[in-house]
Amino acid sequence: MPILYSPENQVFHLQNDRISYIIRLVAGKYPIHQYWGKKVRAIHADVMERCCNQQEEGFTLHELPLDTLPQECPVFGCGDMRQGMLEVRQADGSSALDLCYDSHEILKGKPALKGLPSARGEEAETLVLRLRDEHSGVAVELSYSVYPDIDVIARNMRVVNDGEQPVVLERALSACVDLENTHAQLTTLSGAWARERQIVTRPLVPGHQGVESVRGASSHQACPFMALGKSTVTEDEGEVYALSLCYSGSFWADVFVDCNDMARAQIGIQPFQFSWELKPGDSFQTPEAYLCYSANGLNGMSREFHHLCGRYITRGKYAHASRPLLVNNWEATYFDFNEDKLLELAACAKDVGIDLFVLDDGWFGHRDVDNSSLGDWVDDRRKLPNGLRGLSDKIHGLGLKFGLWFEPEMISPDSDLYRAHPDWCIHIPGRMQVESRHQLVLDLSRKEVREYIIDAVSAAMERGNVDYVKWDMNRNMNMLHSDGLDSAHQKELNHRYILGLYEILEAVTSRFPDVLFESCAGGGGRFDFGMMYYMPQAWCSDDTDAFMRCRIQYGTSMVFPVSTMGAHVSAVPNHQMGRSTPLATRAAVAMGGTYGYELDLTRLPKEELDEIRRLNEKVKALQPLLLYGEFYRLCSPFEGNKTAFMSVSEDRCEAVVTHVYGPAEPNRQPVLLPLRGLDAEKEYRDVESGRVYGGDELMTHGLTIPRAWGDYMATQFHLVAVD
Torsion of CA 381, 535, 564, 588, to 10 degrees: -20
User: How many CB atoms lie under 10 A from the CB of residue 448?
Assistant: 11
Residue 626: alpha-carbon gap to chain centroid: 19
DSSP H stretches of helix in 541-671: 546-556, 583-590, 606-628
Residue 167, beta-bridge partner list: 278
Cα gap 714→582, rounded to integer Å: 8
- How far CA 37 is from CA of 99, 151, 260, 371, 419, in Å, comes to 26, 10, 21, 53, 58
Sheet holding 11-15, edge to edge: 3-6, 11-15, 19-26, 30-38
Q: What are phi and psi of 165, to 5 degrees?
A: -125, 150
Of the candidates 532, 81, 646, the one whose C-alpha atom is nearest the C-alpha of residue 290 is 532
Type and span of the H or E element at 275: none
Residue 369: alpha-carbon gap to chain centroid: 31
Sheet holding 714-721, edge to edge: 630-635, 642-648, 654-661, 714-721, 683-686, 692-694
DSSP 313: I
Identified catalytic residue from 361, 542, 543, 545: 542
Reduced 3-state DSSP string for 348-375: HHHHCCCCEEEECCCCECCCCCCCCCCC
Q: What are phi and psi of 570, to 5 degrees?
A: -120, 175
CB within 8 A of 420, min separation 6: which ones? none
How does 349-366 read in b/e, with b if 16+ C-beta sit within 10 Å? Answer: bbebebbbbbbbbbbbbe
User: How many CB atoms lie under 10 A from the CB of residue 536?
Assistant: 27
Cβ–Cβ < 8 Å for 85, 70: no
Cα gap 408→664, rounded to integer Å: 44
162 part of the active site: no
- How far CA 293 is from CA of 53, 60, 86, 198, in Å, comes to 28, 34, 24, 22
**How many angstroms separate the most distant Cα atoms in the chain?**
85
Cα gap 311→480, rounded to integer Å: 37
Reduced 3-state DSSP string for 586-611: HHHHHCCCCCEEECCHHHCCHHHHHH
- How far CA 519 is from CA of 266, 325, 329, 509, 565, in Å, comes to 27, 17, 17, 12, 10
What would you report as the CA-atom Rg of the chain, rounded to the nearest whole angstrom?
27
Identified catalytic residue from 472, 528, 543, 545: 472
Q: How many residues does the chain have?
A: 723
SS3 of the chain: helix, strand, coil, percent, to 5 = 20, 30, 45
Cα gap 169→419, rounded to integer Å: 37
Cβ–Cβ < 8 Å for 703, 657: yes
Cα gap 258→250, rounded to integer Å: 25
- DSSP, collapsed to helix, strand or coil, labels residue 392 as helix
Sheet holding 516-519, edge to edge: 565-566, 537-539, 516-519, 468-471, 401-406, 356-359, 326-328, 596-598, 568-570
Is the bond preceding 605 in cis, omega lying within 30 degrees of 0?
Answer: no
Amino acid 526 reads: R
416 part of the active site: no
Catalytic residues: 472, 542
